[in-house]
Each structure stands twice: as C-alpha cells, then as structure tokens.
Chain A
Amino acid sequence: MKYILIDDDPIINLVHKRILQKVEETAQIEIFISGVKALEYFKANGTDGQVVFLDINMPEMNGFQFLDELLKNKSIKMEGLSIYILTSSLNNKDREKAKGYPILKGYLGKPLNVDAMLNLKGQFSEPVG
C-alpha cells in the first residue's frame, strides 16, 4: 500500500511513518511538508490508489485549500485516492467544514496509533487498474 503524509511538522511525520511501518512492513511512504509540494507530486505522477493523511493547519496552503486545488485540477483522477484528515485541531468548525468534502474518507485526531491503523486498513480502497 502506498501512503502519502502531508504535514508541516517533520517530527509527527516521522512518528506516523514509523507507526505505518509497524502496521505494514511493506508500506511505501511519501512525505510532503507542504500542500504545494504534494500538489506538484500529484500533477507530475497522477494518482495510484494512495492513502493520503492530510493535516489542516499548515503554512502557505492549508489542508482545505489543498483539497480545493486538487479538485480543481481535472487531470488528477480522484477515484484512486483515499484521503483522511489527520489533525490536532479541536475546532468544531474544521470538523464541520470537512463534512462538506465528500471525497474525504475520514477525520482522525493526531497521533495515529497502531490500533486505529489496523481498524482503518480494512476500509482502504484498492488501487485502480
């Protein structure tokens, strides 16, 4: 399974990477510390059934702005992506706002833990093709 972590905090990225590797030894993990960089990656490589963990509060481009740009770009196929919000926000507004994006598969609180990951695994969509 391919995982993409988008978060501006490198330490939490490290934590999440390790947890993912604990749950799935063969996991392929890409880390982006900004939405802009992740967007460039998708534009260049397209989608390939990845599971995306997206933080909300990020400089330059926040999680929702990233989603908006992603949806705007017709060349990127969304069917292949499973996107989860992974945030430390306790703001209800963020949770409400997330409900306005049907593309999202879930809304998770940081940090990921092994049990929660095992639960999630069953829901991940298979890569296209």
Chain B
Amino acid sequence: MKALTKQQLLQRDYQELQLRVTRFSFIEQQLKNAQDKLDHELILYKRLNQFSNKALKSSKVEDFLTIAVEAIVDILEVEAAAIVIRNNGSGVTNLFTEGLLLPTEAMKQEFIADLASLSEIVGKSKSAIIATKRLELLNSLSDYKDAVFHFANDKGLDTSVCLIGLVSVKKAPFYEVLDEKHETIFSLFTQQFLTIVTNFFQHQKIEDQVVKITNSEIELKKLSLIATKSKNGVIITDHKGCIEWVNDSFTQTTGYAYEEVKGIQTINILKNNFHDVEEYKKILKDKKSIEFTSLNRTKQGKPYHSQTEIIPVFDEHQNFINFIYVITDITNEVEFKEEILRMNSRFELIANKSQIGIWEWDRETNVSTWNNILISQYGAEKNKVGANFYNFWRESIYPADQEMVMSNRHKILNLEIDSIEQEYRIIRANDKSIRHLKTLTIGEKDSNGQIIRLVGSSIDITEQKEADEKIKVLKLFYESILNNMPNKILIFNAASELIYYNESMLETQPFWEQHLFHSLYDIVITEVENQSFVNHLIGHIRQAIRLKTTIKFNETIVLNANPTELLNTVLPFYTDGVLEYIIVSGVDITELNLAQVDLVKKNNELVKVNSELDNFVYRVSHDLRAPLLSIKGLISLINFAELNPSTTEYIKLIESSANRMDNSIQDILVYSRNSRLEVKLESINIKELVHEIFNDIKFSTESQIELEYHNDGADSIITDKFRMSTLLKNMIGNAIKYKRDIPDSHIKFHMAQKGKTITIRIIDNGIGISKNSMPKVFDMFYRGSSASIGTGLGLYICKEIIDRLNGKIKLKSKLGAGSEFDIILPVNKL
C-alpha cells in the first residue's frame, strides 16, 4: 500500500471542510425561514389584537361589522371576506363584504344561500378550510380556490352568523395557501367576534326594553288619571250611557275587550236594577253615587258576582257629562259566605243525625241558644223553657253532680281553663229519669282575653253507660266463674303475651303472677325453674295454631314436693279466621288418676269376689242338690208293688217335695247368674230355640198343647243366649203349666222387628191371671195361689232378665180365657 502524499491529504481535508460549510449554510437558511414564519404569524396575531381594540371602541353594530369584515382580510391575508348575520326569529339577514363584487340583490341572495349550505356541511361553532372541489359546486363561490369558513348560532339571541375568508383561482399564486395556521387564527378571530357581537345584541335588547317601559309608564300615567283603583273594573260612559272607555281590569273581570264594548249600553254587560227611570233621575238630582250588587255572566258565560258603584260626573258648570262605573268582583266573597252557610247547615245536619246537643250562651246579653237535640235530651218543651235556658239547665243537673258542674263552669269563666270535657247526670224533665251526659264546654275570648261567650256540646250516653255497666257486670261474672272454677286458666293474646290467669292456676303455678303482659318467649328465658313446662306449653301452642285445633297434653307439676298431674287443653281462639287468643285450661287430674287406680283395683277385687261367689253358689247348689238327687234316685229304686197304698202316697209326696226343692235351687241359681253375669251377645236361631224348648217341656210333662210360630223377620237374632233361653223356658213353661183342660190348647209365638225394636208376643188360651194378681206376677216369690206349683221366682227372673236386656214386658190377661205377654227388646249389634 502506498502512503498518501501530503497534498492528497490536504486536498481531502479541504473537500471535507467545503462539505461542512455547505451543510451549515443550509441549516442556517432553514432556521432563517422558520424565524420569518414566526415573525409573520406574530404580525397576524398583532393584527387580531388591533381588531379587538378597534372593535371594542365602535358604538354601532354596523360599524363593528364593517371593521370585522375588513379584519378578516387583514388577519387571514385573503383576497375577500364576508359576514352574514341572520335573526332566526324575524328572518332578517344582513350581509357585510370586503373585496367581493356582488352588484345585484339576486347575487347577494345567492351568495347568502351558498353560505347557508356550507354552514350545514361544516356544522356549528367550528372553523374549517373548505376544499376547492366543494367551492366549485357552489355557484357564487365557484371562482374561488381556497376558503376558510365559520358558522355560529346563539340561541339566547336567536341569531346565527356565517364568516368566510376567500382566495380566488385567478389570484391564488399571489396568496399563501390556507392551512391549519389560518384555521386556528380564524377560530380565535371568530371567538372574539362572537363575544363582541353578542354584547352588541344584548345591549340592543336592553335598550329596546327600556324604551318599552318608558312608553308604558307614560300610558300608565294617563290611565291612572281616570282609573285610580286599577284592580276594579272601570267603565266610563257618555251622558247617554254608551261606553266610552274601559280599563284592563274590566276586561279581565268581564272577558270583554275595549273594542268589543265601545259605544254600547252598559245594560248589555252588567245586570242592574238601574234602568228604572226614577232611580236614574234621582242620581242626577242628588248628584250622589249609588251602589248595587248583581250576578252577571262573563263573555264566556261564567257567572260572577259584582258590586258596582255608579258615579255621575259633572263639569264645572254642573252639567252632567259622564257616568263612571267602578265594578268590584266579589265572587270570592259571595262564594265564601255561601260556603259558610253550607257548612253551618251541614254541621246542624250532622248534629241532628248524631244526636249532638249544641248550645251557646252570650255573656253580654245573657242569652242562651239551644238546638232541638239538646232540648229533647233534657226532656224539655221549647215554649215552656222559654229563653231562660240557664236556670232550667241548672235545675236539671242531678243534685250530687251540681257542685262539680258549676265549679267547672266558673273555672272557664275565671279563665283558669279554656275548655272542659265532663260527664254528669241530669234529671230529665219529662219522665224524671236520670240520664248520663257527656259534654264539652268551650270559652270564647275577645281580643283582650275576656270570655264573651260559652259554647258547648252534649251527648246522651245513658244507653252506652248502661251497656258499659252491663259489660262490666258480665266481665265480673265471667271473671268470678273463671277464678272460682277448679280449672287452671291462662289466656295469651295473639302476640303470646299473658293477659289472664285465674286463682286456681296460681295454686299450682304461682310463678305466672309475675308475668302478666309478658311474652311467653320472655317468660321461658326468665323462669329457669319452670322452663321445662313453659317450653312444653310453647310447643303445644305452636302445634295448636298450626293445626288450628285443640291440643291436649298431660304434665306433672311439682310444687312444694307435691306432684300435681294436670290435663291441659290448648285452645286457639279465632275471630273471622284471625287468631285472637290462646286459652290454656288445665284440670287437676291427680285425684282422678288416684280414683281411677282405685277403681281398677276395686273392680279387680269385685271380679274376684264375683267369681268366688259364683263358685260358692255352684258349690252350695251342688252340695244342696247332691242329697236331693240321692233321694230322687232312691225313690226310683222303690218297688211300689210291695208297698201298701198309704206308704206309696207318702213316698210320692217325698218325691214331689224333693222336686220342688230342686226347682227352687235351680231357679235361685238362674237368678243369681242373671244378676251377676255380663250380657254376652251372640247370634242365635230363635225358631229353633223356641221349638226345642217347647218340645222338651211338652214331652217331659206329657201335655196336649200345640205351638204356632210366626215371625215377620229373620229367625236369627243377636241376643244373650243363656238369658233368652231362660226367658223362653219360663214363658213357654208357664203357658204349658197353666193350660186349661180344653181340646185346642195352644201357644202362639209371634215375633216382629220394627225399626230398632223386636217385639215377641206369647199368647196362650190357658187359665189366665186374675185382676188382683196381675200387678204382682212379676214380684219375687209371688205365687198366684196356694195351688200354684212354682217357686214364685219364674216371672220375677223373666222381668230381671228383660231389664238386663234393656227391654220391657207387658201383660194382658183374662181369667179363664188366657194371657198375652209382650216382650219388647232392642235390636243389638255384634
């Protein structure tokens, strides 16, 4: 590699230096340009400032607008500018231009319309550069290449403004192209412009109002000369009564405008009694005004009350020239008065309907006024009492209450109290009965605080008082029942608060006394010792309410080591489906339980004794019968052929006696069984039973007798087999035993079931029963005659059996003809 020569090195350094100089000068130029640009912008802002100062000094809006349109050209450095101001309300539009050539009105209108279309595109309160293409579309702006536009609308002033700066195609090369810089500065300009123009317009508006007020003041002064009372309607007529002038109040009251009534007679508008010629003349003669009230209608037909004063006016020569009508609308006053009257009559009606007595006593005149209700409350006659109500009233008061009532009256009169509500008794004048009154007395005071009048009301509460008294007595009555009954009562309200307990409850559970009006849920917390019972109670009450039914539960209470067994009933009490009370009623069943235990024990003992007795009876009957049966057996072994007749007769008598004794033992046994044994129901066939018994007895006694069986219903009936069998044995046995010696001896057995009873009728044609014996046949050990062969127990046992079966027996009989027994038994069910 060859080293560079010194010259080559120098040359290279020089070239480098030259390059740097070139580069530096370029930067310098750029900086200079920027400086110029800033300087130019500063100039523009200075111009904007100058505009503001100048504008603020201008006194007329037109001057200001001229300055403004010139300023646009200056500040934006554009060729031309325009401002359009339009009042939206009136539609008046003003155009101010600079550098624009719009020689005809049509061109001006076209230009204004084009700006309006631009404002629609750009929108409010915004400055915007408008593109050339957009300008080409608008006829009046098609020659322009560049534009900046602003549109504003002030609602308060009801005014819209369009501002525009323009550069034409022709002259474009001489002007700077519009850019953001112009947009910004134009935006600032428009802000200032709008502030100033707003001020102008507001100022204008205020000035206009001041002018208006000044004008109306003048008018008012004019009017006040004639109609000082501006509130009242005023009419001025000429001497013929034709309306010359009316004021605004007249129009307000009557609805007629001045134009409508001018020249017509007042009678067409106001009803009055002033068409009377005499009256008319009198006014003119006396030169005095007159007043009248009337009910009129407005133009719209609405009625109104008026008070009218007609004043005749005379000139200095005392010539009558005018009438002045001053009309006051008194509709409100009239309606108010009517309302008071209505209220009064309504009040009177209420007082009548509700039987309220009302009175008033005027201190100054000492006059009392009573309404009819009060008079009838006191049983007085209006004409008899006259005006002297006070004395009558005082004498009517029940003597014992007089002191209190008069003392209260004095308290009001002495200003100790304002009013008094009290109850006292009176003696009614007509029937001298004592009545209870509830009264209110009020003292009415004047502005000095002195009583000028007493007013009062009175209600007869005798019936109510009596009813209250009755309820009180009834309450005491029920309370004394509740307190003295052995049941232990607690009553809770729907909120589970204890509202009642009776004395009996406190005997076993004294703690309830501490909890009157306490909630059950508080009681359960505080009553630690009785928590278990209260808890159970709460549970059962909840259940009773849930199921809407009565709940029973047992609880053992221990008080002073004495256990008490309570059977409690919880009854939720409803009125119209709403829970009102919960009634807890406890019965002390300690004794009952003991008694029950005792009863069971006794019953067991009785059953045992009964059974023993039963065994004893059988035992005795068996032991009594055993030797009898031996006797009977021995007799049967005797060969009567070996004996002489008298011995045979004795032995036969022995046999007969043994038989009777055996019958007696058997009867007593049956009687004993009937009285001790429980009724045992079972289904039996009555037909079979009757035939079996009949045949047994018939054959064992070798009797000639027939049975007629008749049954309307079923043969099978439910009854006690042993008793029915014993009963039929006795009845049929008797019929056979006491049959007559006639060929057609018979027994008729008839049975009929009707409803809930069975009737068994046993009819025979035997010897019958004498009248004397009939009442006694069912007695114990009664025998119709000494010839009777029975024990005297048969029918007695029948009667006893029928009693045990809850039946009845009736007897019809005729001596020598036969007997009829009616046995009526209830139908049983298994």
Contact A19 B622 (CB under 8 A): no
Q: Does A88 belong to the interface (CB within 8 Å)? A: yes
Instruction: State whether A111 and B625 are in contact (beta carbons under 8 Å apart), knowing that A15-B637, A89-B618, A92-B722 are contacts in the complex.
Output: no
Contact of B630 among A15, A90, A91 (CB under 8 A): A15
Docked complex Cα distance between A16 and B666 (Å): 23
Instruction: State whether A15 and B625 are in contact (beta carbons under 8 Å apart), knowing that A90-B666, A90-B669, A92-B722 are contacts in the complex.
Output: no
Q: Does B123 belong to the interface (CB within 8 Å)? A: no
Docked complex Cα distance between A11 and B629 (Å): 10
Instruction: State whether A15 and B618 are in contact (beta carbons under 8 Å apart), knowing that A90-B666, A92-B722, A110-B629 are contacts in the complex.
Output: no
Residue of A nearest to B634 (CB): A15
Residues of B595-643 contacting chain A, CB below 8 A? 618-619, 621-622, 625-627, 629-630, 632-634, 636-637
Contact B626 A9 (CB under 8 A): yes
Docked complex Cα distance between A111 and B626 (Å): 9
Docked complex Cα distance between A16 and B632 (Å): 11
Q: Does A12 belong to the interface (CB within 8 Å)? A: yes
A12 surroundings in chain B (CB, below 8 A): 626, 629-630, 633
Per-position 1/0 for A90-122, Cβ under 8 A of B: 111000000000000000001111100000000
Q: Does A43 belong to the interface (CB within 8 Å)? A: no
Contact B622 A88 (CB under 8 A): yes
Q: Does A37 belong to the interface (CB within 8 Å)? A: no
Instruction: State whether A111 and B618 are in contact (beta carbons under 8 Å apart), knowing that A12-B626, A12-B629, A88-B629 are contacts in the complex.
Output: no
Residues of A1-43 contacting chain B, CB below 8 A? 9, 11-12, 15-16, 18-19, 22
Per-position 1/0 for B189-220, Cβ under 8 A of A: 00000000000000000000000000000000
Q: Does A57 belong to the interface (CB within 8 Å)? A: yes
Docked complex Cα distance between A88 and B621 (Å): 9
B634 surroundings in chain A (CB, below 8 A): 11, 15
B633 surroundings in chain A (CB, below 8 A): 12, 15-16, 19, 110-113
Contact A18 B637 (CB under 8 A): yes
Contact B636 A111 (CB under 8 A): yes
Docked complex Cα distance between A123 and B701 (Å): 27
Per-position 1/0 for A57-88, Cβ under 8 A of B: 10000000000000000000000000000001
Docked complex Cα distance between A45 and B618 (Å): 35
B630 surroundings in chain A (CB, below 8 A): 9, 11-12, 15, 111
Contact A90 B636 (CB under 8 A): no
Docked complex Cα distance between A19 and B637 (Å): 7
A111 surroundings in chain B (CB, below 8 A): 629-630, 632-633, 636
Docked complex Cα distance between A16 and B637 (Å): 9
Docked complex Cα distance between A9 and B623 (Å): 11
Contact B636 A114 (CB under 8 A): yes
Docked complex Cα distance between A16 and B621 (Å): 21
Docked complex Cα distance between A90 and B625 (Å): 10
A89 surroundings in chain B (CB, below 8 A): 618, 622
B636 surroundings in chain A (CB, below 8 A): 15, 19, 111, 113-114
A114 surroundings in chain B (CB, below 8 A): 636
| Best-surrounded residue of A18, A89, A90 (most CB of chain B within 10 A) | A90
Name the distance in Å between A8's Cβ and chain B's nearest Cβ: 9
Name the distance in Å between B76's Cβ and chain A's nearest Cβ: 145
Residue of B nearest to A113 (CB): B636
Docked complex Cα distance between A12 and B626 (Å): 8
Name the distance in Å between A85's Cβ and chain B's nearest Cβ: 13
B669 surroundings in chain A (CB, below 8 A): 90
B722 surroundings in chain A (CB, below 8 A): 92
Docked complex Cα distance between A88 and B633 (Å): 12
Docked complex Cα distance between A88 and B629 (Å): 8
Contact A88 B625 (CB under 8 A): yes
Residue of A nearest to B632 (CB): A111
Docked complex Cα distance between A63 and B666 (Å): 22
Residue of A nearest to B615 (CB): A91
Name the distance in Å between A9's Cβ and chain B's nearest Cβ: 6
Residues of B646-678 contacting chain A, CB below 8 A? 666, 669
A91 surroundings in chain B (CB, below 8 A): 618, 622
Docked complex Cα distance between A54 and B676 (Å): 30
Contact B618 A90 (CB under 8 A): yes
Docked complex Cα distance between A16 and B633 (Å): 8
Docked complex Cα distance between A9 and B636 (Å): 17
Residues of B484-514 contacting chain A, CB below 8 A? none
Docked complex Cα distance between A18 and B633 (Å): 10
Name the distance in Å between A53's Cβ and chain B's nearest Cβ: 13
A112 surroundings in chain B (CB, below 8 A): 633
Residue of A nearest to B665 (CB): A90
A110 surroundings in chain B (CB, below 8 A): 625-626, 629, 633
Docked complex Cα distance between A88 and B474 (Å): 74
Docked complex Cα distance between A88 and B623 (Å): 9
| Best-surrounded residue of A9, A15, A16, A89 (most CB of chain B within 10 A) | A15
Docked complex Cα distance between A18 and B636 (Å): 10
B625 surroundings in chain A (CB, below 8 A): 88, 90, 110
Contact of A57 among B622, B627, B632 (CB under 8 A): B622
Name the distance in Å between A123's Cβ and chain B's nearest Cβ: 21
A16 surroundings in chain B (CB, below 8 A): 633
Contact B618 A88 (CB under 8 A): no
Contact A90 B621 (CB under 8 A): yes
B666 surroundings in chain A (CB, below 8 A): 90
Residue of A nearest to B617 (CB): A91
A15 surroundings in chain B (CB, below 8 A): 630, 633-634, 636-637
B627 surroundings in chain A (CB, below 8 A): 11
Name the distance in Å between A108's Cβ and chain B's nearest Cβ: 12
Docked complex Cα distance between A91 and B627 (Å): 17
Residue of B nearest to A7 (CB): B626
B619 surroundings in chain A (CB, below 8 A): 57
Docked complex Cα distance between A111 and B618 (Å): 18
Docked complex Cα distance between A89 and B630 (Å): 14
Docked complex Cα distance between A114 and B621 (Å): 25
A57 surroundings in chain B (CB, below 8 A): 619, 622
Docked complex Cα distance between A113 and B632 (Å): 10
Name the distance in Å between B698's Cβ and chain A's nearest Cβ: 17
Docked complex Cα distance between A110 and B629 (Å): 6
B626 surroundings in chain A (CB, below 8 A): 9, 12, 88, 110
Name the distance in Å between B673's Cβ and chain A's nearest Cβ: 8
Docked complex Cα distance between A127 and B637 (Å): 29
Name the distance in Å between A104's Cβ and chain B's nearest Cβ: 19
Name the distance in Å between A54's Cβ and chain B's nearest Cβ: 15
Name the distance in Å between B253's Cβ and chain A's nearest Cβ: 124
Name the distance in Å between A70's Cβ and chain B's nearest Cβ: 23
Docked complex Cα distance between A9 and B634 (Å): 13
Residue of A nearest to B626 (CB): A88
Per-position 1/0 for B668-701, Cβ under 8 A of A: 0100000000000000000000000000000000
Name the distance in Å between B440's Cβ and chain A's nearest Cβ: 93
Docked complex Cα distance between A88 and B636 (Å): 17
Docked complex Cα distance between A57 and B636 (Å): 23
Docked complex Cα distance between A11 and B631 (Å): 9
A22 surroundings in chain B (CB, below 8 A): 637
Name the distance in Å between B829's Cβ and chain A's nearest Cβ: 25
B632 surroundings in chain A (CB, below 8 A): 111
Docked complex Cα distance between A22 and B638 (Å): 12
Name the distance in Å between B671's Cβ and chain A's nearest Cβ: 13
Listed in ascending order, the chain B residues whose CB lies under 8 Å from chain A are: 618-619, 621-622, 625-627, 629-630, 632-634, 636-637, 666, 669, 722
Top 9 A-B residue pairs of the complex, sorted by shortest distance between their CB atoms: A111-B633, A15-B633, A110-B629, A91-B618, A11-B630, A88-B625, A12-B630, A18-B637, A88-B629
Q: Could you jot down 17 A-B contacts, CB within 8 Å? A: A11-B627, A12-B630, A15-B636, A15-B637, A18-B637, A19-B636, A88-B622, A88-B625, A89-B622, A90-B618, A90-B621, A90-B625, A91-B622, A110-B626, A110-B629, A111-B630, A114-B636
Q: Known pairs A11-B627, A57-B619, A89-B618; list 14 more (Cβ under 8 Å).
A: A9-B630, A11-B634, A12-B630, A16-B633, A22-B637, A57-B622, A88-B626, A88-B629, A90-B618, A90-B669, A110-B629, A110-B633, A111-B629, A113-B636
